[in-house]
């Protein structure tokens, strides 16, 4: 095997990096994951993830973790209501969608990010993840790399794989091509103990998701497994909107007034979201890779997930693409069909860039549809299969 006697360093312990570590360990590879979090409990995990049959779920099946996933997913969390500004329901699949339909092409079971991370972490060999390892820099040494971390540690690896997200520190060692701003910003809010603190929205969600469309502005929200609700106000804005808005994102009163001004046609039914949110709100400008990005392949360095192809979330493919990357890269690195590591990495990167460009384009187009003057009509046609 080309990985024999090779030390592999994965930078980043998100779903993509952990899936890759699991798949490589199943093939006998020597892998360490370096994660900047202090420990496995250091960060509150974000919104639930929906996994798709040919990508995220395919990776879990290859990792022998599908049964664990079935024990931890959120039945019914993929159910959807499509609404307008007034809170009127125009589409709902709550009464028709099966809670469990594994093996069906369009079944997209949801799971809390924390639960997925726990499944992946517990599948790894002891001490695979090195916590408190905030990447600072690396330089070439012999046939590999010496990696430096903020805590003063330095390690050698024969192969480095960047799985460190949209703001990847590994990506600049591969390419100077930067993502571009999509024109859309999300304002994220999180509501704890939603049954009591946001009872109307909690009842409306009924354990599922809501997409509410107005003229060029949306509200997107979903139920989490721990009684929380995560939501996004989604709108077109300049790239530096957050810095220039004058808003204090820790002030709920101010953010509610902002919502009333910027979403003037929207019903007061939605005010509960802003009144109940745990501050601060988090502004998230949405970026996308250039569709024609390319770079010269290295024999000991590559990237997966958002580090390789950050894209808008409007196709629901982010984590699925990262786990698909992990699946394909692990197969390339452990296959006998390639002459050497550079050949294996090149094959992975060419395939990855091609499919990422297709999905990124789809995500951008969906974002435009969802933020158009006639978004509700367009999205209803989509969900009704026209």
- What pLDDT shows up at residue 46? 62
Which is more confidently placed, 74 or 209?
A: 209
* Domain ranges for the chain: 7-45+124-177+290-366, 180-288
Tell which phi-psi region holds residue 188, choosing left (phi > 0), alpha (psi between -120 and 50) or beta.
Answer: beta
- CATH 3.30.9.30 describes domain 180-288: yes
- So what CATH class is 7-45+124-177+290-366? alpha beta
Q: What is the pLDDT of residues 94-128, one digit of tens each?
A: 988 776 778 777 778 889 888 999 999 999 999 99
Is 50 known to sit in a ligand binding site?
yes
- What pLDDT shows up at residue 70? 92
Are 118 and 51 within 8 A, CB to CB?
Answer: no
- What pLDDT shows up at residue 45? 57
Is 108 known to sit in a ligand binding site?
no
* C-alpha distances in Å from residue 194, one per residue of 152, 212, 220, 222, 264: 42, 19, 16, 11, 25
Question: How far does Cα 321 stand from its chain's mean position?
Answer: 9
Q: What is the pLDDT of residues 317-365, one digit of tens each?
A: 889 999 999 999 999 999 999 999 999 999 999 999 999 999 999 999 9
Is 43 known to sit in a ligand binding site?
yes
Is 113 known to sit in a ligand binding site?
yes
Q: What is the pLDDT of residues 37-95, one digit of tens each?
A: 988 887 655 678 889 899 999 999 999 999 999 999 888 888 999 999 999 999 999 98
Q: What is the pLDDT of residues 240-293, one digit of tens each?
A: 999 999 999 999 999 999 999 999 999 999 999 999 999 999 999 999 999 999
Give the integer Cα–Cα distance in Å for 179 and 308: 10
- What pLDDT shows up at residue 75? 87
Q: What is the pLDDT of residues 157-202, one digit of tens each?
A: 999 999 999 999 999 999 999 999 999 999 999 999 999 999 999 9
- What pLDDT shows up at residue 102? 80
């Amino acid at each position: 095997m080309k990985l024999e006697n090779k030390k592999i360093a994965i930078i980043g312990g998100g779903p993509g990096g952990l899936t890759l570590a699991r798949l490589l360990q199943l093939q006998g590879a020597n892998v360490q994951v370096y994660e900047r979090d202090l420990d496995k409990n250091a960060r509150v995990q974000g919104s639930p993830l929906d996994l798709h049959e040919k990508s995220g779920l395919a990776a879990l099946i290859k990792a022998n973790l599908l049964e664990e996933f079935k024990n931890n997913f959120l039945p019914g969390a993929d159910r959807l209501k499509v609404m307008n500004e007034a809170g009127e329901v125009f589409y709902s699949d709550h009464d028709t969608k099966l809670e469990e339909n594994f093996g069906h092409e369009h079944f997209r079971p949801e799971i809390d990010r924390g639960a997925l991370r726990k499944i992946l972490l517990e599948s790894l060999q002891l001490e695979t993840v090195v916590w408190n390892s905030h990447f600072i820099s690396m330089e070439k040494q012999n046939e590999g790399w010496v990696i430096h971390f903020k805590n003063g540690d330095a390690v050698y690896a024969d192969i480095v794989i960047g799985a460190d997200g949209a703001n990847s520190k590994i990506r600049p060692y591969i390419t100077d091509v930067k993502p571009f701003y999509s024109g859309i910003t999300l304002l994220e809010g999180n509501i704890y103990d939603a049954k009591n603190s946001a009872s109307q929205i909690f009842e409306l969600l009924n354990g599922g998701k809501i997409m509410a469309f107005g003229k060029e502005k949306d509200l997107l929200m979903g139920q989490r497994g721990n009684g929380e609700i995560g939501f996004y106000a989604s709108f077109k804005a300049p790239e530096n909107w957050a810095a220039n808005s004058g808003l204090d994102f820790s002030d709920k009163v101010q953010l509610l007034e902002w919502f009333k001004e910027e979403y003037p046609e929207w019903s007061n039914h939605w005010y509960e979201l802003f009144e109940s949110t745990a501050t601060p709100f988090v502004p998230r400008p949405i970026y996308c890779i250039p569709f024609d990005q390319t770079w010269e392949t290295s024999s000991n360095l590559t990237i997966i997930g958002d580090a390789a192809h950050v894209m808008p979330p409007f196709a629901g493919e982010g984590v699925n693409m990262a786990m698909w990357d992990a699946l394909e890269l692990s197969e390339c690195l452990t296959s006998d069909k390639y002459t050497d590591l550079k050949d294996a990495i090149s094959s992975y990167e060419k395939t990855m860039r091609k499919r990422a460009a297709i999905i990124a384009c789809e995500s951008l187009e969906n974002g435009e549809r969802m933020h158009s003057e006639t978004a509700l009509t367009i999205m209803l046609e989509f969900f009704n299969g026209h």
